[in-house]
Structure 1
């Protein structure tokens, strides 16, 4: 995908991974259409990067269609917006309204993005890419975590479904599944810029999923526990070194 002619859309672009993706794409010379629900932060980021900013609630299907109408030439769509939610306990400890909000942003935000953008990407009959921000928590189940982990499991399923459905078209799908990232969601973790670099490398190389190497065995172990009928156990990364 040539950066000189690339128009890219990034949701959740005013902070965290989304902002890092926008910065990395700007450095490549891409034309940017950035979306976020935070109008002030979006305006600041868009002005700094010379981008078009569109205030967007990704949980609103109409808002996502409006965003798509602002970027008819988009060839890369980064569906990145997400929230954690304040409750990090067991499923029954999370209030109903929190389940609704987390799933509305994290899952419906991706589905609304696919519904808004994929038809126009297909209509263009040219190579294009959808990049979905999932999470390690969407591949491995951790104790607690509230609604976030289950929502990201749904996101990884949607990403796989979309990739299969688009297999015989010019539109490709990639998803990134980072562990802890130092964003507004977490004070700890790796720098968002590193995640953005890995994500765009996956787009460049046509890679479907990016999973941290130190967690890959843990993901496989949990799948093995399921298919063998064993009780699930908390995942752990490979030891450093």
Structure 2
């Protein structure tokens, strides 16, 4: 079986690649950073296919390279250059963040899911969203809105695939120590929990200490209240 990982040259994608390599999986890795990708692939004995997930043709070509894929990790994502309020974010930043974070997932689903369904075998799709796709935080530019779209895509996909052998898991971590954030939990912990969730058939993976904040903010919206800034509940 082959596992495909987008955004595999660093962060969560790299951690997923390392964890799956340790499980003995064959890997097909892609990233827009071809130099870093080549180094990772060489170290893990993986196949490297540099690609921009925002390009539908590139994702279709990637799927053609992995006919045996039964695990597809749609992980690639970017933060964006501007982290201000919506009206402060330049148009080009909105376009690029949505092209990678949202269209990248759509392109991956379009390229791989029909092939997974045609195979008629158990398969998994892991979609990396974010806690910022479940709760709204002040600032963050286009990243949060894009990740909210990703959580909707993942939920829609899971519903559409409910009666098939293909299962979807949505990864919604809080801060992770990656290229996007200097602070946070190690990517290896996030990857391990994501694989555990897939093994157990869980849909959403997000830190327990944030569950209450997500529910409270949703309740505020339903009640018509002005939303407050969410925060974790720590032991």
* TM-score normalized by the length of structure 2: 0.99
Aligned length: 235
Aligned: 1:118 with 2:113: yes
Which of residues 102, 116, 138 in structure 2 aligns to 1:143? 138
- Of 168, 184, 188, 1:189 maps to 184
Question: Who is 1:70 aligned against?
Answer: 65
Q: CA RMSD in A?
A: 0.5
1:16 aligns with 2:30: no
| Inter-partner Cα distance in structure 2 for 1:188 and 1:197 | 18
1:154 aligns with 2:149: yes
How big is the shift at 1:168?
Answer: 0.4
Match of 2:128 in 1: 133
Matched, 1:104 2:132: no
Q: Distance in 2 between matches of 1:205 and 1:67?
A: 28
SS at match of 1:32: strand
Give the Cα separation in 2 of the matches to 1:226 and 1:187.
Answer: 31
How many angstroms does 1:7 deviate by?
1.1
Aligned equivalent of 2:83, options 80, 83, 88: 88
**C-alpha deviation, 1:211, in angstroms:** 1.2
Aligned counterpart in structure 2 of residue 45 of structure 1, from 40, 46, 51:
40
Where does structure 1 differ by over 2 angstroms across 4 or more consecutive aligned residues? none
Give the Cα separation in 1 of the matches to 2:227 and 2:191: 32
For residues 32-76 of structure 1, give each alpha carbon's deviation from its aligned partner in whole angstroms, at most 9, with x where no partner exists: 000000000000000000000000100000000010011000000
TM-score scaled to structure 1, two decimals? 0.97
Q: Secondary structure at the match of 1:13?
A: coil
Q: What is the CA-CA distance between 1:162 and the residue it aligns to? A: 0.2
CA drift at 1:178: 0.2
Structure 2 gaps, min length 5: none
1:79 aligns to what? 74
- The match for 1:222 among 207, 212, 217 is 217
Measured in 1, the distance between the counterparts of 2:103 and 2:193 equals 25
Instruction: Provide the C-alpha distance between the structure 1 equivalents of 2:95 and 2:81, rounded to a whole number of angstroms.
Output: 13
